[in-house]
Amino acid sequence: MAQKTPERERCATGIEGLDTILYGGIPRSNTILLTGSCGTGKTSLALEFLIHGAAKGENSLFISVTEDSEKLLANIIPYRFFDRSLIKSGKLVFIDLPIMYERLGLTKSELSMEEIELLVSAIADIAQELGAKRIVVDSITSVCYKLKTSEKIRDFILKLGKSLSDLNCTSMLVGEVAANATAYSSFGVEEAISDGIILMANMERRGDLLRTLQVIKMRGTSHSRAKYVLDLTPMGVLLVPLLKGGSTG
Partner 1 sequence: MSPEMANAQQIATELMETPPSSAVSLQMSVDNYLEVIRGVIDLFANKKGMETIYVTATISSDQIKRVLEALDIDTSKIYFVDCISHIMMGASTAQLDDHTTVVESPTMLENLMLKVEYLIRRSQTKDKLVVIDSINSLAIHNNNWILSEFLHILVSGLRSREAYTIILSVEEHSTPDLNNMVSLVCDHGIRAGRQVE
* d(C-alpha 123, C-alpha 170), whole Å: 14
Interface with partner 1 by CB under 8 A: which residues?
Answer: 80, 205-206, 208, 210, 229-231, 233-235, 238-247
* d(C-alpha 122, C-alpha 143), whole Å: 14
Quote the crossing angle between the two packed helices 150-166 and 113-130, to the nearest 10°.
20
Using the minimum distance from each CB to partner 1, give the nearer residue, 113 or 243.
243
CB of 179 to partner 1, least distance (A): 19
Using the minimum distance from each CB to partner 1, give the nearer residue, 30 or 212.
212
CB of 243 to partner 1, least distance (A): 5
Q: Which residues pair with 83 in a beta bridge?
A: none
CB of 23 to partner 1, least distance (A): 18
Using the minimum distance from each CB to partner 1, give the nearer residue, 6 or 245.
245
Using the minimum distance from each CB to partner 1, give the nearer residue, 80 or 162.
80
CB of 148 to partner 1, least distance (A): 40
Q: Give whole-number Cα distances, 89 to 53, 125, 132, in Å.
A: 14, 20, 13
**b/e code 141-160 from CB counts within 10 Å (16+ = b):** bbbbebbeeeebbbbbbebb
Q: Is the peptide bond before 139 cis (omega within 30 degrees of 0)?
A: yes
Alpha-carbon torsion angle 215, 77, 66, 101, nearest 10? -100
Using the minimum distance from each CB to partner 1, give the nearer residue, 6 or 207.
207
CB of 109 to partner 1, least distance (A): 42
